[in-house]
Amino acid sequence: MTDEHELINFCCEELEDAVSSDPEDALIEHDSGLILLNLGHREEGGETGIVLATIRFCPFCGTEIQTDEDIEAALGAVETHD
């Protein structure tokens, strides 16, 4: 069996193992191809949502995995709220 990762070149096995498409996990591979850090649930205005933060550097080995430009480009492709 071979595992194929088409969107992201992982810098290390720790990151590859940690990133999941499950939105409940701590590190999430977003539809845009970005890796997002899940900061947990936050209740705001009576609604509970998941707070996500973009990260530039791998939390395990410190490699830059996505630049500000990557993040902006990916987020620009996603509809944002004003």
Q: Where are the beta strands (DSSP E) in the chain?
A: 19-20, 27-29, 35-44, 47-54
Contact call for residue 61 and Zn ion (CB under 5 A) = yes
Q: Considering CB under 5 A, how many residues would be counted as binding Zn ion? A: 7
Stretch that binds Zn ion, among 34-42, 43-51, 53-61, 72-80 (CB under 5 A): 53-61
Q: How many angstroms separate the CA atoms of 42 and 59, rounded?
A: 23
Contact call for residue 26 and Zn ion (CB under 5 A) = no
Q: How many angstroms separate the CA atoms of 57 and 35, rounded?
A: 10
Contact call for residue 18 and Zn ion (CB under 5 A) = no
| Contact residues: Zn ion, CB under 5 A | 11-12, 15, 58, 60-61, 63
